[in-house]
Chains A and B, each alone.
Chain A
Amino acid sequence: MNFLSIFVLIPLLMLFGLWVARNLNQVRGVMVAGSTSLLALAVYLTFIFIADRQTLSAEEFPMLYTASFDWFPALNIKYSVGVDGISVAMLLLSAIIVFTGTFASWQLKPLTKEYFLWFTLLSMGVFGFFISIDMFAMFMFYEIALIPMYLLIGVWGSGKKEYSAMKLTLMLMGGSAFLMCGIFGIYYGTGAATMNIIDIANHTNGAQPFAADSLQNLWFVFTFAGFGVLGAMFPFHTWSPDGHASAPTAVSMLHAGVLMKLGGYGCFRIAMYLMPEAANELGWIFLILTGISVVYGAFSACVQTDLKYINAYSSVSHCGLVLFAILMMNQVACTGAILQMLSHGLMTALFFALIGMIYGRTHTRDVRELSGLMRIMPFLAVCYVIAGLANLGLPGLSGFVAEMTIFVGSFSNEGTFYTTLTVIACTSIVITAVYILRLVGKILYGVCTNEHHLALTDATWDERFSVVCLILSVAGLGLAPWWVSDMIGTGVSPIITVIDSAKDFLYVPF
């Protein structure tokens, strides 16, 4: 048994533990023990991965700790695991979010046990997705991660939760329907007769290029759009604001923090890596779409009045930036994209945690009804300012590192088309500053106009703990980005090599 499978095994054990747990303390105990051991495992993995990566070059061994077990031999489907720099970073991110999410939902009231059951199932899907290198297993874990959202939002959510839950589930499942078609296309189109990503890549880069198949473009569109739905790509982003606004705190954290990264990761790992010719040929279409998400998301955030909607549209903008950078198809921009996934995951989780805590006290998320919170709940307010600054890219926090890398990488692409799009996307930084600073000024400073709010208390210990963990991660990534960006770089470079080798198909509209 490969040790990567422990990432799936722990949530399985947690599910079992929750099933037999009989009271609230036991449920909490299982969750804390499980999420702590996941975090410890992820940190351990990061360290040994960095050490091992120095001895084993990324060109020869694109994936480390690989293992594979027969599952459906008749179709050559295996349960294969392996990690590279990108997946290690994502596993670390997921572990941090699950850990802090557990504490953020510490006081969640009705049906606590059931809530954590679905929450754990969701995290199992996420971890499984990142360790798998077999498309079948990846797709299975991907869907495992999607479906608990329905009940998590529908039962424990707020606002128009039934509508949002159904909309989110159907849109994401619609995306995965196309995705499944794309996976079949890759499986039968390449002729490799395997679902293993590395084997397919070796196969198509060797004797039999996939370019020979004229349907590759179609499968690329299906796959990229399928994952793009989860990555909140315009025009498939509409589930995201409603879903995030209705979800309970920890679910918003996990969803915006990790689940949306599944989309970007899948686009990069499956769509771009396995179909580089089509990526070069059709990338520009998606580049325009993601460019729209970046700017449109930021503008939409400016006019929202609900705190969660603001943050959800801001997520659309930042996740759009991830896909935008991936489609620039060079080493720096793609490294930036992965950094942005990490950074956005951490700071959005922080944001949603804080919004959840504020909402839990004031019972309103309407910006117009909130003001002067800095005096009432100073701890939460200061953290909110930090999250906001990270979001708008203040140097020293994670947002700056990621966005800087992305824009430097994007700008280095030649051609008016790329330059123009990059300049347009850059404007989102300014717009972000507008809505964040306005928000901070409105709800935190000034005089509190609502006398009911004066009696409110500041954060409790569990809330402080989860917020401080996230702030430390955000600051850590911002102050010392090199160790993680080097690691990500080793994961990005083999994929970029493959995409570069298919540059003959590069098509730039103008």
Chain B
Amino acid sequence: MDYSQFLNMQAELSLLAVIVILFVADLFMCADGKNGRGVYNTCLPVVLLTAHTLLNLCPSCQGAGEAFGGMYQHTPMMSIVKSILAVGTIITFLMAHKWLSRPENLVKQGEFYLITLFTLLGMYFMISSGHFLMFFIGLETASIPMAATVAFDKHRYESAEASAKFILLALFSAALLLYGISLIYGSTGTLYFNDIAAAVSFFNSSTNPVMLLGLLLFITGMGFKISLVPFHLWTADTYEGAPTVVTGFLSVISKGSAAFVLFTVLIKVFGAQDLVYAWDQAFLWIIIASITIANLFAIRQKNLKRFMAFSAISQAGYLVLGIMDGTAQGMTSLVFYLLVYMVANLGAFAVLTVVEENTGGITMDSYNGLYKSNPKLAFLMTLCLFSLAGIPPFAGFFSKFFIFMAAFKAGWHWLVLIALINTVISLYYYLLIVKAMYIIPNDEPLPGFKVDCYSRTALFVCIAGVVFLGLCGVAYNYIDAFAYGLDNMVNGLAEPIKCCCPSSCH
């Protein structure tokens, strides 16, 4: 056996190493909750994960590779997405410090990191899968530990309820997904992504109803993960009940990885022309429904976590716009959108978390007049909300512009127009929070408080991203160098056509 193929899996292996180190460290550091254990415990995972991310990003010029006979596939683009997810996890850990320092959570700090990192590991495998079984294992590894984190505040009734809803619907969607996979297997006789594409063109089965039903069930299963309308019903309740930090993680990391995987699997497996037409039609309606319905529901929300849930559904709709037609430009804009959405949304959640941890306020009314007592937090929140709404010069404007541009290029003019009109509605409800913080008079706003240094770091990273990711074109151009789609794939194999390091390209 050629062991060098394991090198292709260095992202997963290094993450596994991080997990093992943390596991061992947790054994030896399970002190009594005094002597600075909290500090040490937040620093360690953050530092390790940062090292892992840097390691992950460095060799992204190496080109594509695979392991286990194609079960595991790797492209530089996948490294980028994995790094984005890892950065998001780091920010989540930083945000979580204050919450984990609560007396009742202090003893299970280590668990939180481990469970979250296992989720991340599952996403890594899901992203790099080249086989439906690998894909499914990754997906389940990603979603089952997630249910544990949703129920992390186990003394709280809502948290347990949210977790039950989450796990039941995750299982339901997994069943649908499995059924879809079995149908695909039935019509092609293989589960390898590349072989399926070849079999579809060989048997000319792209109009085969069984295949189409398989595609539909696959989209449904993924739709649950990304929480697209009409598969979004679990979202609001779960987001509201879960601990705020976990909600942030759910709304960005879990959703983003699923959206990227949806894109890559669609172009790898369902790249035949008729199938592309089929999923384009499906997504046309899914996107319109997601954006419009979520926007209309978000307007009425008073609890900010529910509000962010509907905002996240509509943002998912925009994210999926990049999938239309499966172009390379679509992939670039999808990944860029994911990156920008991550910093903006986690920034907003960081503010929600610190406000909730320090004062307990989580409703829109409690934010009235926040500007008076906490001017800096209110300002940072405003920047994040502007970025989410797509207001320049913040990064959200650029990501929205590019994702609309990609969909427009693919010829979906009316879809883009509807999405654009929806951005105005979304601006309305984001401005409602800004209005609450700045304009609505309130004699007794939430008391002022000092933000702990971990949350400060998280906020700093997010705000730096919100301000600079768009204005400096570097991020977009870097992602673009590795993008691939139906328009530049060779023989059904996803090979990036461009390369950033001339030395490693021959």
Contacts and interface: CB of A to CB of B under 8 A. Distances in A.
Contact of A184 (B386, B393, B408): B408
Contact of A144 (B392, B417, B427): B392
Contacts of B401: 136, 180
B393 A170 contact: no
Contacts of A184: 404-405, 408, 413, 416
Contact of A140 (B393, B402, B423): B393
Contacts of B438: 151, 154-155
A74 B332 contact: yes
A150 B421 contact: no
A143 B397 contact: yes
B302 interface: no
Given A181-B416, A184-B416, A147 B405 contact: no
B230 to A, nearest CB: 25
Interface stretch (A46-54, A171-179, A323-331, A406-414): A171-179
B423 A177 contact: yes
B155 to A, nearest CB: 40
A178 B421 CA distance: 8
A140 B397 contact: yes
B297 interface: no
A417 interface: no
A248 B428 CA distance: 22
Given A155-B438, A180-B404, A188-B408, A72 B393 contact: no
A20 to B, nearest CB: 14
A143 B391 contact: yes
Contact of B420 (A151, A180, A188): A180
A166 interface: yes
A75 B402 contact: yes
A150 B431 contact: yes
A169 interface: yes
Contact of A177 (B329, B397, B421): B421
B393 A144 contact: yes
Contacts of A151: 434, 438
A181 B427 contact: no
B464 interface: no
Given A75-B405, A151-B434, A162-B439, A181 B476 contact: no
A337 B427 CA distance: 33
Nearest to A144: B392
Contacts of A178: 417, 420
B432 to A, nearest CB: 9
A92 to B, nearest CB: 25
A150 B385 CA distance: 14
B54 interface: no
Interface string B399-410: 001101100110
B424 interface: yes
Interface residues of A, number: 33
B420 A74 contact: no
Interface in A164-207: 165-166, 169-170, 173-174, 177-178, 180-181, 184-185, 187-188
A265 B397 CA distance: 22
Contacts of B439: 154-155, 161-162, 165
Residue in A70, A166, A173 whose Cβ sees the most chain B Cβ within 10 Å: A173
Contacts of A147: 386, 391
A181 B428 contact: no
A72 B477 contact: yes
A379 interface: no
Given A169-B431, A170-B427, A188 B392 contact: no
A193 to B, nearest CB: 10
B480 interface: yes
A155 B378 CA distance: 14
Contacts of B154: none
A162 B404 contact: no
B434 A150 contact: yes
Interface in B447-506: 473, 476-477, 480
B424 A177 contact: yes
B37 interface: no
Contact of A73 (B417, B435, B477): B477
A465 interface: no
A71 interface: yes
A181 B434 contact: no
A177 B428 contact: no
Interface string B321-364: 00000000100100000000000000000000000000000000
A166 B431 contact: yes
A181 B417 contact: yes
A136 B398 CA distance: 10
A162 B428 CA distance: 12
Contacts of B413: 181, 184-185, 215
A173 B424 contact: yes
Interface string A357-377: 000000000000000000000
A170 B391 contact: no
A468 B404 CA distance: 47
B298 to A, nearest CB: 15
A225 to B, nearest CB: 13
B498 to A, nearest CB: 9
A166 B417 contact: no
B473 A71 contact: yes
Interface string A108-151: 00000000000000000000000000001000110110010011
Contacts of A144: 392-393
Contacts of B476: 72, 74
Contacts of B393: 140, 144
A392 to B, nearest CB: 37
Interface in A68-92: 70-75
Nearest to A166: B431
Nearest to B382: A151
Nearest to B481: A74
Q: Which of B329, B435, B439, B477 has the most CB of A within 10 A?
A: B439
A420 to B, nearest CB: 35
Contacts of A150: 431, 434
A177 B434 CA distance: 21
A154 B404 contact: no
Nearest to B438: A155
Nearest to A145: B392
Contacts of A181: 408, 413, 416-417, 420
A108 B405 CA distance: 42
B395 to A, nearest CB: 12
Contacts of A73: 473, 477
B355 to A, nearest CB: 20
A188 B421 contact: no
A117 B397 CA distance: 20
Interface of A: 70-75, 136, 140-141, 143-144, 147, 150-151, 154-155, 161-162, 165-166, 169-170, 173-174, 177-178, 180-181, 184-185, 187-188, 215
Given A72-B476, A185-B413, 8 more contacts: A74-B329, A143-B391, A165-B439, A169-B427, A170-B427, A174-B424, A177-B423, A181-B417
5 contacts: A72-B477, A73-B477, A151-B434, A154-B435, A181-B420
Interface of B: 329, 332, 386, 391-393, 397, 401-402, 404-405, 408-409, 413, 416-417, 420-421, 423-424, 427-428, 431, 434-435, 438-440, 473, 476-477, 480
The 6 closest A-B pairs by CB, nearest first: A177-B420, A74-B480, A184-B408, A140-B392, A154-B439, A71-B473
